[in-house]
Amino acid sequence: MWIEIIKKFSNFPAQEKVIRFLLERGFQINSEGKVVSGTIEIPHTQIAKEVGVDRRVINATTKVILGDEALRKVFQNIHSITFLKDVAPLLGLGVMIIVPKDAQKKGILGDVASLIAKHGISIRQAVTDDPYFTEDPKLTIITDVKAPGDLISALMTLPSVKSVTVY
C-alpha cells in the first residue's frame, strides 16, 4: 500500500516529500484540506518550512489527497504515537536501536523480542521504521531496564541483526 501511495506522487518530487513527511509524523488531513493532529491544526506554512517546499505545495498535496478515495481514507484515519526513545533514559528505561541486515525480512521483531524475553526483560515499546519510507530502517526497543551486555552479544548473533546500539 505504501509503495502505491508514493507512486501516486512520483512525478511530483516536492509533493512526494510532503507525503513522506505527513506519513512519518502521522498527520491527518481533515475534510477542509487542513493538516491536523487530532483537532490541532498545523499551518501549511509551518509544514512547508519544515519540509523545504513552498506552502502551495502543501495545498496542492492536500487537494490530491482529498480527491483520491484511497488516500483520503488513509490520511483521515492515520494517527501518531508517543515514541519514548528520547525520554526513556530519563525514565530509567533501556533503549536499543537495532539495524537489520535486510529490513524486509520476516521475523526480525519476533526473533529480537523472543531473545529479550529469554533474558527476563520486559519490552515497554517496539517501534520499527517502515523500509518503504526510510532509507536506513531501524527497530527501536524500549525495555524496563537497560540491556545487559550478554543480551547485546546474543542479539548480535541473530542472522538478521547488523548492529545494536544501546542508550
In whole numbers, what is the pLDDT of the chain averaged over residues? 94
Number of H helices and E strands in the chain, helices first, is 7, 7
The Cα 121–Cα 77 span in angstroms is: 34
Q: Which residues contact 122 (CB under 8 A, 6 or more apart)?
A: 143, 144
Residue 20 lies in a domain: yes
Q: E strands of the chain, at which residues?
A: 28-29, 35-37, 40-42, 94-100, 123-128, 139-143, 161-166
CB 98 within 8 A of CB 112: yes
Q: Are 37 and 100 in the same domain?
A: no
The Cα 1–Cα 57 span in angstroms is: 23
pLDDT value, residue 149: 96
Give tens-digit pLDDT for 62-111: 999 999 999 999 999 999 999 999 999 999 999 999 999 999 899 999 99
Q: Give the residue from 56, 77, 98 where a domain finishes.
A: 77
Q: How confident is the model at residue 6 (pLDDT cuts 50, 70, 90)?
A: confident
pLDDT value, residue 8: 87
Q: Are 93 and 162 in the same domain?
A: yes
Residue 82 lies in a domain: no
Residue 83 lies in a domain: no
Residue 1 clears pLDDT 80, i.e. is over it:
no
